[in-house]
Structure 1
Amino acid sequence: MGLSHRHAVLPALFAASLLAGTLAANAAAGDDEATRASRWKEIRETIFGDRAIERTESVVKIDAPQRAEDASLVPITLTMPDKDAIKGVSFIIDDNPTPYAAHFVFGPAADPSSVKLRVRVNNYSDVHAVAETKDGRLYEATQYLKASGGCSAPMGMSDEEAMQGMGDMRVKFGEQAPGKPVQATLMIRHPNFSGMQMNQVTRDYTPARFIQTIAVSYGDRSVFTMDGDISIASNPVINFAYIPEGKGPIKVVASDNQGGRWEHSFPAPAPSN
């Protein structure tokens, strides 16, 4: 089974099994290294099957706070120095109810040297970045992250307020230099309800509603596609880079697990000479 197809079935699988307690019930701040390794082995085999994954300190790197200030809004940077070799990257939070947080596949207009996102972290946990190279090999980087309660943290407003303007988007572009990729920041208005947050008025749990797919293109060329789950923080923000060859615009298409779909185009800066 291919990686992208496997990810398509994982949300339902993990929601049924992990939320019921198959893995997450064992999570605790005091888990030792052997316990965490065993948990990762089970997750890894569920996602990647029997494919070999090589440990690395160079192909992919994770930059994350060792102790998060806000477990519902943890900044993550994935760096891939050998960008021309990278096909995609997955980010996995071992002790989250659905560990498979995000899977990026980079297109011909991408500069995949780094990507940034914000996630929820539910327990003290190992996090893994697994990069897939164009020759089909897998490489993993690991970090232990101290945070808890991020998936159930209330948003501090009513559900109705959180859903106002859902699907609105903005893209900010960085400075442009001749022959260099353009840095961009995508912001999407969406509550990304995890299904674990309690409505402070009704005391019922708000049903899960989260962005599942984001596709970004530059002109007629793909920059990246991302499959996501409840671990992506509310009002997703993704920093990425693209190669400004040809003409724009930057087009973004996003969809969520309840059938919502939004599409916006943004004028891209004219390529520099």
Structure 2
Amino acid sequence: MKRLLLALSLTLSAAALAPVPVRAGATDSDEERAARWTEIKKTIFGDRAVEVNDAAVKIDAPVRALDASLVPIGLTLADKDNVKGLYFIIDDNPSPYAAHFTFGPAADPGEIKMRVRVNNYTNVHAVVETKDGKLVETAKFVKASGGCSAPMGMSDEEAMKGMGDMRMKFSDGQGGKPVEATLMVRHPNFSGMQMNQVTRDYTPARYVDKLDVTHGDQLVFHLDGDISIASNPVIHFGIKPDGKGPVTVAATDNQGGRWEHKFELPSASN
């Protein structure tokens, strides 16, 4: 609901600027893009200051995406021990708010990787929230088009088979050092903009909206997601192997689906 209100708010804000509205597109000027980002920041962060610091987080993204519905994004955080949360925002998507990670004590938040949909030529922003409450941003321009409306290439029924199934791959633990993990979740993440190729109707939005990863009784991260995360989400992250017990993943979607799986963390080796 928050993201739908965000999209509506941005639309109304743009209309209020007539006769010179802020429009998304490949021909937008730097001034138009800056004005749109100002509106997005105000909607998400209110009056909180957001400082520009390209050194705080590095965005690894293709300049021109090969597939707008599966755009690989890597986010590397410089001062990982001082990070509380991380926002990823795709300015010109229908719902710009793509993902918000909140990190717990079992997280090693040095690097996050995921795949997203990009609907138009756009700036993408990564905003780091530090433990003392500061917000720091960096941006990158990505050329892509049509990612949110791209069809799945199969029927809706086929896309939903096995929904909620999960797999987890771990790197080998090395003497207590952080373990790299890659989580794969089976879910179509329908955006609400995709047309069913058989019925010619639009498939209702159904996407993973919350995901919690814990190690034993400690939080690794909580994710608030939206339609901009690609189908069958894949998330790469780091875990501190300090706790006891399995790695548990609990996911919900906006239609009330809920799934939970447990994975054994590999034993540390010297």
Length-normalised TM-score, structure 1: 0.93
2:81 aligned to 60, 65, 84, which one?
84
Cα-Cα RMSD: 1.6
* Aligned position for 1:37: 34
* Amino acid across the alignment from 1:152: S
Output the amino acid matched with 2:138.
A
1:62 and 2:59 are equivalent in the alignment? yes
Q: How many correspondences in the alignment? A: 265
Q: Distance in 2 between matches of 1:102 and 1:215?
A: 13
Is 1:114–2:106 an aligned residue pair? no
Deviation, 1:174, is: 1.0
Q: Which residue of 2 aligns with 1:13?
A: 5
Code of the aligned partner of 1:204? D
Partner of 2:240: 243
| Per-residue Cα deviation, 1:94-136 (whole angstroms, up to 9, x for no partner) | 0000000000000000000010110000000000000000000
2:120–2:144 CA contact under 8 A, matched in 1: yes
* Residue 146 in structure 1 maps to residue 154 in structure 2: no
Alignment partner of 1:196 out of 193, 196, 206 = 193
SS in 2 for 1:246: coil
1:92–1:99 CA contact under 8 A, matched in 2: yes
Q: How does 1:1-273 map to 2 (within 5 A)?
A: 9-17=1-9, 22=14, 26-272=23-269
**Are 1:68 and 1:145, in contact at CA under 8 Å, matched by a contact in 2?**
yes
Q: CA deviation at 1:222?
A: 0.3
Asked whether the equivalents of residues 249 and 268 of structure 1 are also in contact (C-alpha less than 8 Å), the reply is yes
Which amino acid counterpart does residue 178 of structure 2 have in structure 1?
A: P
Preserved CA contact (<8 Å) 1:183 1:240: yes
TM-score by structure 2 length? Answer: 0.94
Please give the per-residue CA displacement for 1:227-268, whole angstroms capped at 9, x wherever unaligned. Answer: 000000000000000000132301000000000000010111
Alpha-carbon spacing, 1:18–1:151, altered in 2? closer, same or farther (3 Å): farther
- Unaligned runs of 5+ residues in structure 1 are 1-8
Maintained 8 Å contact 1:131/1:140:
yes
Identity across aligned pairs (percent)? 66
Aligned to 2:18: none
